[in-house]
């Protein structure tokens, strides 16, 4: 390489449209987006439910969700590894070292963030809406969709926080995916590999590509959010 500048490397990576890089980028996006979607389908209702219902041990659940936001990715990876390993309880699924295993590990990482933050947001809204709800005689299960819908812009931001966590982590996908070339190699594990080879400019170049990608997604979501906000007033 005639120029060892990381920005130059990043630029030429993008301009060359290198096939293996495209595959790595595509897999990164697929795994993280799917993980965030699954986590949202489970996490938002969970967060709203904890906000709405009063039950024994509720405080404990809230503390647990908040604490799990800080779960180290490598611990999540290790837990999922032990579950999916052939010697583990779900070994028969044969999922270890596949993209499916990476999705599961990222769901474990993202779910607490979505649940804990949406719980907080929904609880705030509930405070504002409570009197209206009571006057309408609304039941809790009917409040949930209303609250979630009215919190949608905040939820979008929470979704992005979850996506950030998923696309940035390396410990979990490395452990359960194995960084297999062409199968489970994603941006972050490729960066670790290139750093290991001492190809620091290439590693940093990949990092810049990842950063640009995440910025692009954030800009897109911001735009969608702004447009809908304006339309709905």
Partner 1 sequence: MTKMVNLLFAGVTSLGLAFTAYAGDYITLASTTSTENSGLFDAVVPKFEDATGIEVRVVAVGTGQAFEIARRGDADSLLVHDTTGEQRFVENGHASERADVMYNDFVLIGPADDPANIRGTQSAAEAFAAIANATAPFTSRGDDSGTHRAELRLWEKAGVEPDRDWYRELGSGMGPTLNTAAAMNAYVLSDRATWVAFGNRQNLTLLFEGDDVLFNQYGSLLLSEEKHPHLKHDLARRWHDWLVSGEGQQAITHFRVDGQQLFFPNAK
Site for partner 1 in 86-125 (CB under 8 A): 86-88, 91, 94, 96-100
Please state the closest distance from residue 120 (CB atom) to partner 1, in A: 23
37 counts as binding partner 1 under rule CB under 8 A: yes
> Cα–chain-centroid distance for residue 180?
21
> Contact with partner 1 (CB under 8 A): which of 43, 112, 178, 205?
178
| Cβ 153 vs Cβ 169: under 8 Å | no
29: its two tokens: 């996006």
In the complex, the smallest distance separating the C-beta of residue 52 from partner 1, rounded to whole angstroms, is 24
CA distances for 52 relative to 56, 129, 133, 224, angstroms: 13, 12, 12, 29
Q: Which is nearer to partner 1, 67 or 200 (CB)?
A: 200
User: Whose Cβ is closer to partner 1: residue 99's or residue 207's?
Assistant: 99
C-alpha–C-alpha distance, residues 34 and 158, integer Å: 15
Q: Which residue lies nearer to partner 1 by CB, 98 or 188?
A: 98
CB of 187 to partner 1, least distance (A): 15
Under the binding rule (CB under 8 A), the answer on residue 14 touching partner 1 is no
Q: Which of 200, 215, 216, 219 binds partner 1 (CB under 8 A)?
A: 200
Tokens of 153: 């812009």
**Closest CB to partner 1 among residues 16, 181:** 181
- In the numeric block, the tokens 């309880």 are attached to 89
Measure Cα distances from 69 to 150, 158, 224 in Å.
Answer: 24, 12, 27
Q: Does 27 bind partner 1 (CB under 8 A)?
A: yes
The Cα 32–Cα 161 span in angstroms is 12
HSE-up (13 A, CA, CB side) for residue 222: 7
By beta-carbon proximity to partner 1, the closer residue of 29 and 61 is 29
Binding residues for partner 1, rule: CB under 8 A, are: 26-27, 29-30, 33-34, 37, 85-88, 91, 94, 96-100, 178-181, 183, 193, 195-200, 224, 228
């Amino acid at each position: 390489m005639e120029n060892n500048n990381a920005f130059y490397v990043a630029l030429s990576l993008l301009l060359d449209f290198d096939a293996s890089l495209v595959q790595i980028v595509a897999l990164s996006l697929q795994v993280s987006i799917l993980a965030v979607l699954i986590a949202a389908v489970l996490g938002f209702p969970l967060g709203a439910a904890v906000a709405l219902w009063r039950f024994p041990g509720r405080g404990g659940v809230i503390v647990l969700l908040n604490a799990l936001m800080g779960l180290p990715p490598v611990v999540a990876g290790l837990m999922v590894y032990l579950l999916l390993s052939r010697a583990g309880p779900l070994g028969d699924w044969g999922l270890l070292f596949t993209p499916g295993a990476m999705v599961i590990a990222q769901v474990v990482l993202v779910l607490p963030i979505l649940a804990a933050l949406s719980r907080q947001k929904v609880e705030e809204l509930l405070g504002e809406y409570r009197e209206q709800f009571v006057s309408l005689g609304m039941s809790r299960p009917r409040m949930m969709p209303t609250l979630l819908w009215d919190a949608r812009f905040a939820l979008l931001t929470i979704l992005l926080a979850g996506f950030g966590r998923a696309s940035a982590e390396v410990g979990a996908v490395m452990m359960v995916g194995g960084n297999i070339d062409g199968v489970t190699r994603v941006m972050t594990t490729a960066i670790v590999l290139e750093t290991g080879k001492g190809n620091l400019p290439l590693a940093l170049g990949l990092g810049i590509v990842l950063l640009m990608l995440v910025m692009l997604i954030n800009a897109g979501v911001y735009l969608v959010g702004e447009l809908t906000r304006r339309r709905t007033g």
